[in-house]
Amino acid sequence: MRVAERVEDIVTSGLCTGCGMCESLLGSDTLRMDLSPEGFMRPRQIRTLSKADEGAVMQACAGHRQVGPEPVGIEPHRMFGSCLHLAKGHATAPDMRFEGATGGVLTAVAAFLVEEKLVDAIIQIGASDSDPFANEVRFNTTREEIVASAGSRYGPVAPLTQVHAALDSGKRFAFIGKPCDVATLRNLAKTDPRVDRQIPYMLAMFCGGSPSVSATHNVVRRFGEDPREIAEFRYRGRGWPGPTFVRTRKGTVHRQSYDDTWFGDLTFELMFRCKICADGLGEHADLVGGDCWVMEDGKPSHREMGDGWNIVIGRTTRGAELAAKAVEAGYLHEEPFTIAEFEKMHDDHALKKRSVFWRLLALTATRQPRPRYERLRVAEAGWRNASWRERWAAFQGTFLRSVAGRNRESGIGSGSFVLEETRNDIEKPARGGEPHAA
Ligand SMILES: Cc1cc2nc3c(=O)[nH]c(=O)nc-3n(C[C@H](O)[C@H](O)[C@H](O)COP(=O)(O)OP(=O)(O)OC[C@H]3O[C@@H](n4cnc5c(N)ncnc54)[C@H](O)[C@@H]3O)c2cc1C
């Protein structure tokens, strides 16, 4: 087994999550996050990295190492991790529920944290005002700003680029990001004690993977529009799941259903790192929100359901208490939800967990580096729970991809993304989830 030890190795081997922690650690005059030729956020080298720089990044980078959470006093679910608190729920405020990707739970909890002065600001991302496909880091201090950042952004995002600036401010924050972003922040907490003191709440959403920006361009092109002429783009939200929405600069509007976007003939490429992800359900976070799909014929339905419902998981005592306090204060509404319902609804994520071990084995067999996973039950899930069919599919898929070099990406010195030059592999998401590792 080989673990990548240098930033260049992490990026070229397709192990970078694109979070931007390396820029935060070393400064943008050394590494700067930029859109790579593959259409992902990747560090671009501005100055040569010293050995000390590489060491500092490796201590935090989830492409190098990801260690699951400390035990919280209950046996973790073998696929879904520890659920100290499990419920279905939604924001009580209609605007938050409407604007939210699902039921607006993450938005409502963030608003609660700020309005109750439990933190000074929320570190979260939102769509850039100048580029509808780009995202920017925000330090939101008001309900209005938080609601304006609601919704899921499927594409390049680097939410951790300004963590050190936040810590240097001496203020207290909550962070919202993908499970891998939170894992990286937890890594940083091991070497920088300010993280636990100043970022007491870490919130995550379920994540089936992040596609390249070319996915979004392809959605736009399918409507016969030029990505350069787009003023507004949303994958979902404003309803549940809400239509994919495109508005051109000239004011033409296009909409299509969630299933037409994710399960039609969409051509997109998922980050390779997402295909070998060991935690799509935010095991490192304090509180997690996902889709609590309505089940039809034993399967999650993505029909428009109007008002959204989230699954809400408290992973830590602090997260479980946070959910309870947000309910008590009237920000959240919750109802019972069982592990058995969870298992039926999100077997796509269980399949992912069962497959990782075999994907990593294929990387080892093809002499490719991989992240070091600990305390995430990867081997256990692969050995005990994966069928032989699943094992073979996962191993073979990654083996062939790796032999063909399709896990590889351009390095940290490479140029920026150019619209016409994207690689467009056909990837079909697993039914039931979102852009999952195929
Ligand atoms: C890439 C991606 C993949 C997903 N895959 C799944 C899945 O497989 N199954 C599932 O049930 N749900 C998935 N979701 C989550 C789902 O879309 C909702 O985000 C989740 O249910 C929370 O809903 P909410 O209404 O509480 O969120 P909201 O209240 O709308 O809050 C969403 C928060 O997430 C932040 N955010 C949005 N996009 C990103 C991003 N790319 N990186 C970092 N922060 C971001 C926003 O700033 C906001 O704070 C995915 C989301 C993303 C972004």
Amino acid identity, position 134 = A
Q: What is the pTM assigned to this prediction? A: 0.95
Evaluate: CB of 290 within 6 angstroms of ligand 1. yes
What is the whole-number distance in angstroms between the Cα of residue 256 and the centre of ligand 1?
Answer: 19
Range of the domain at 173: 1-438
Query: What separation in Å is there between the alpha carbon of 237 and the centre of ligand 1?
Result: 10
Whose CA is closest to atom 8 on ligand 1?
208
Closest-CA residue, ligand 1 atom 24, reads 104
- CA proximity to 270, closest of 397, 385, 413: 397
CA distance 204 to 124: 10
**Tokens standing for residue 414:** 């490479």
Domain count, the chain: 1
By percentage, how much of the chain surpasses pLDDT 90?
90
CA 234 to ligand 1 centroid distance, Å: 12
Tokens representing 246 are 């495109």
Phi, psi (degrees; rounded to nearest 5) at 392: -65, -45
159 lines ligand 1 (CB under 6 A): yes
Beta carbons within 10 angstroms of residue 274's beta carbon: 21
Q: Is the pLDDT of residue 209 over 50?
A: yes
Could you give the CA distance from residue 108 to residue 340 in angstroms, rounded to a whole number? 26
The residue assigned the tokens 């100043």 is 198
Confidence of residue 425 (pLDDT cuts 50, 70, 90): very low
pLDDT digits (tens, 9 = 90+) for 309-362: 999 999 999 999 999 999 999 999 999 999 999 999 999 999 999 999 999 999
At 200, the amino acid letter reads: P
**Per-residue model confidence as pLDDT tens digits over 134-171:** 999 999 999 999 999 999 999 999 999 999 999 999 99
